[in-house]
Structure 1
Amino acid sequence: MFSYWEKKHFFHYDLIVVGSGFVGLSTAIHYKEKHPKARVLVLERGVFPTGASTKNAGFACFGSLTEILDDFWHMTQDEVVALVARRYRGLQSIRRQFGDKKLSYSHVNGYELLEESQLSALDELKGVNKLLHPVFKEDVFSIVKKPEKLGFSDQVKAVVKNKFEGELDPGMYMNSLWKLAQEKGIRILTGVSVCEVQKDAGIVLAEDKVGKVSLEFIATKVAICTNAFTKKLWPDSDIQPGRGLILLSKPVDFEIPWKGTFHMDKGYVYFRQVDGRLLLGGARNRDFEGEKSTDFEVNPKIKSHLEKLATGVIFPGKKIDWDVEWTGIMAFGKIKLPLIQQVGPKTVAAVRLGGMGVAIGWQVGEELSVLLSKM
């Protein structure tokens, strides 16, 4: 049961964005900048963005050496270079927009640990640098001369440095998006679970989680920005969920001999230090099928693997006490490019960020706003 005032003011919009993560809020902001008088609503089922935006590890990265080399098996050289460029330019764009301080961005460099079986990647380093030179204008990757000073186990045979990567605080990034959205008059409703988008009519059917009340919102245009949870609203989409586990230790009682963002195993494993703690995550490649899930649960097989890496490779012989664990749900597809397209006369979608929402979310939102403006 709704009042006359509620029906009059809260259910009709020029644009409704489903999903309040990095892409959803970026889409709403860019569209509002192009159309200042438009009434824009963002709907979110959780208190915070549901998928991965505020659950990621805070890496400002675009691809490790072995990850890029692995991409060459599935993509052309031009496609791989374009993908890296898209990610790097996306990171640069949010730094320009919000400033490093508001993102808590730190340019600490990126690193990749190589085991014996991966040393052949070093033979390709020079060639990869040459391919990426048009984007960066200088070499991206170099070999760390004295990796033993970083304190890793002797399982690590080499360390590759990437001087163009850094780290940020995903919560501060989200705060910056919230503030900008508020300044532009964008309405955000949380606790609203969208059940259906009628793509031809611009009707969004939802449910209020608190009162179990059915809601019907009407918009001139609708944007689906639900990433891994898109199948429910767009069943034909090429979307495969990919869950990611992150472990955060208690503050360690020893000096950490390194700083930076680190990758292992073709980028599937990643770690960094946060407030004197070890943040360690990933390893979904240890159980791809098990991690094709939208359930926020911890996979014991992956957790055990990460814990062994912590005390066996990263801090050999040290005791690590774990404090917090969580999972985020990413979205992948047959190719690594984001899916940005019109899916109905009044509806568009921007999903499938491939675990790179920090790098490309703002940019994808801008591209979707352009598509919306053409409708």
Structure 2
Amino acid sequence: MNLSYWELKTWFTNIDFTIVGSGIVGLHCALAMREKFPKSKILILEKGILPQGASTKNAGFACFGSLSEIIDDLKSHSEEEVIQLISKRWNGLQLLRKNLGDQTIDFKPYGGYELFLKNDEDTYIDCLQKLPFINDLLKPLFRNDVFAKEVDRFAFQGIQEYVVFNPFEAQIDTGKMMNALLQKAIANNILILNQVEVTSYQEKNNEVEVALGDFSFTTKKLLFATNGFAAQLTNNQVKPARAQVLITEPIPNLDIKGTFHLDKGYYYFRNIDNRILLGGGRNLAFETETTTELGQTELIQNRLEELLKEVILPNTEYKIAHRWSGIMGLGSTKKPIVEQLSEHVYCGVRLGGMGVAIGSLIGQELADLVK
């Protein structure tokens, strides 16, 4: 780095808090830190042009888990743990809406639907049988039934007769949300540097030395909000999980509105700007998709196109406009990791594919750790 006196003085001197990652967690953490420490100098470092993980690459689902996902979670988590997870996701969504406003994030309460393929009879029957039990489990939190059995009104093909509807689910515009968060951070005098990668760090007495390649600087506290990339620097048990996505060109008279889940949440799609956005398929190749490399694979893209043609838009002409991928952070449990790693280093990671729902809350919790 060939830095001037002004650059060193303005961006890399007398730093109180350095946050690694400018996604939903990192920005919410920085804003919470600004409230807590009004006169502090806060620096956010981001290795991408835009947030590198999933914050600007997700599907924009304001969701907290489909019926089949919740039933699946109950196999590896206690009822209390599952209720806590859903409560955290729901409260996180309310915090996001409160912080930015529904109009700003283009919040649309169209509801969510879970579809079941014809050849997935077992999951379908299991979900319909357990639907009343899950509703009873969630009633203290939502004061109402969350899931209801409905006949498909969207003319999808190759699916079971009934879909499961969730009126509490909604969709947002991911780009508008992140742009608003970035603008809010800048308005609160939070410094953000992009395309800067932290390569290592070392704790020294009352500060942390942070290395950016061959250049280093010191900060009083270091906070990691790197989710799917967390294992690289924090040694946390976080596995990256790539999510591949495609989107169509605008489709005239598109009647599909809502967020849709398929195959235990491994596939998901929605309407946006008269297009269909469809993602998922990592269950076809878990090992290949446990990666921090952004990109697409023929296997998964072909399956997405197959679902689009045969199930979602069977009698509609469409063209695919664009494809991309994002990196999530998963683990053996769905509980996020928000902890102090050492005297001056902290992390808020492993969002379990629910970053939109819990990112704001995890950012707040990460800031709360710092004394």
Q: TM-score, normalised by structure 1?
A: 0.94
Distance 1:95 1:204 in 2: 34
Q: Counterparts in 2 of 1:165-244, with a 5 A limit?
A: 165-199=169-203, 201-207=207-213, 214-234=214-234, 236-244=235-243
Preserved contact between residue 109 and residue 164 of structure 1 (Cα < 8 Å):
yes
Q: Percent identity?
A: 42
The corresponding residue for 1:210 is none
Letter in structure 2 aligned against 1:185: N
TM-superposed CA distance for 1:157, in Å, is 2.8
Preserved contact between residue 18 and residue 226 of structure 1 (Cα < 8 Å):
yes
Distance 1:157 1:337 in 2: 34
- The one of 325, 331, 334 aligned to 1:333: 331
The corresponding residue for 2:108 is 106
Q: Counterparts in 2 of 1:138-153, with a 5 A limit?
A: 138-144=144-150, 146-147=151-152, 149-153=153-157
Distance 1:154 1:41 in 2: 51
TM-superposed CA distance for 1:117, in Å, is 3.0
Letter in structure 2 aligned against 1:241: P
Distance 1:304 1:199 in 2: 48
Distance 2:249 2:8 in 1: 49
Does the residue aligned with 2:83 lie in a helix, a strand or coil? helix
Preserved contact between residue 240 and residue 291 of structure 2 (Cα < 8 Å):
yes
The corresponding residue for 1:136 is 142
Q: Counterparts in 2 of 1:43-122, with a 5 A limit?
A: 43-115=45-117, 116-120=121-125, 121-122=127-128
TM-superposed CA distance for 1:180, in Å, is 1.3
Q: Counterparts in 2 of 1:247-286, with a 5 A limit?
A: 247-253=246-252, 255-286=253-284
The corresponding residue for 2:362 is 364
Distance 2:199 2:275 in 1: 40
- The one of 307, 310, 317 aligned to 1:309: 307
Preserved contact between residue 227 and residue 330 of structure 1 (Cα < 8 Å):
yes
TM-superposed CA distance for 1:319, in Å, is 3.3
For residues 167-223 of structure 1, what are the alpha-carbon distances to aligned partners after superposition, in whole Å with 9 as ceiling and x for unaligned? 00111111111121112110001121111122454111114xxxxxx3212111000
The corresponding residue for 1:5 is 6
Distance 1:126 1:30 in 2: 39
The corresponding residue for 2:346 is 348
Does the residue aligned with 2:329 lie in a helix, a strand or coil? strand
Does the residue aligned with 1:192 lie in a helix, a strand or coil? coil
For residues 216-259 of structure 1, what are the alpha-carbon distances to aligned partners after superposition, in whole Å with 9 as ceiling and x for unaligned? 1211100011111122212x210100000110011124x33331
Preserved contact between residue 11 and residue 43 of structure 2 (Cα < 8 Å):
no
Preserved contact between residue 199 and residue 343 of structure 1 (Cα < 8 Å):
no
For residues 112-152 of structure 1, what are the alpha-carbon distances to aligned partners after superposition, in whole Å with 9 as ceiling and x for unaligned? 002333222101000000000011011000011x31x3111
Does the residue aligned with 1:216 lie in a helix, a strand or coil? strand
Distance 2:298 2:222 in 1: 39
Does the residue aligned with 1:202 lie in a helix, a strand or coil? strand
Distance 1:239 1:307 in 2: 30
Preserved contact between residue 239 and residue 290 of structure 2 (Cα < 8 Å):
yes
Q: How many residues align?
A: 363
Distance 2:363 2:177 in 1: 15
Distance 1:205 1:87 in 2: 34
Does the residue aligned with 2:287 lie in a helix, a strand or coil? coil
- The one of 14, 23, 26 aligned to 1:24: 26
Q: Point out where structure 2 has 5 or more consecutive residues left out of the alignment.
A: none
Distance 1:79 1:8 in 2: 47
Preserved contact between residue 119 and residue 157 of structure 1 (Cα < 8 Å):
no
Q: Structure 1's 154 and 3: CA in aligned 2 closer, same or farther, altered over 3 A?
A: closer
For residues 276-318 of structure 1, what are the alpha-carbon distances to aligned partners after superposition, in whole Å with 9 as ceiling and x for unaligned? 1110001211111110011111021111111111111112243
Distance 2:343 2:187 in 1: 30
Distance 2:203 2:166 in 1: 43
TM-superposed CA distance for 1:351, in Å, is 0.8
Distance 1:99 1:7 in 2: 36
Does the residue aligned with 1:194 lie in a helix, a strand or coil? coil
C-alpha RMSD over aligned residues: 1.3
The corresponding residue for 2:163 is 159
Preserved contact between residue 158 and residue 310 of structure 2 (Cα < 8 Å):
no
Does the residue aligned with 2:95 lie in a helix, a strand or coil? helix
Preserved contact between residue 55 and residue 327 of structure 1 (Cα < 8 Å):
yes
Letter in structure 1 aligned against 2:280: G
For residues 260-288 of structure 1, what are the alpha-carbon distances to aligned partners after superposition, in whole Å with 9 as ceiling and x for unaligned? 10001111110011111110001211111
Q: TM-score, normalised by structure 2?
A: 0.95
Distance 1:20 1:199 in 2: 22
Does the residue aligned with 1:285 lie in a helix, a strand or coil? helix
Does the residue aligned with 1:295 lie in a helix, a strand or coil? coil
Letter in structure 2 aligned against 1:18: V
Distance 1:134 1:74 in 2: 22
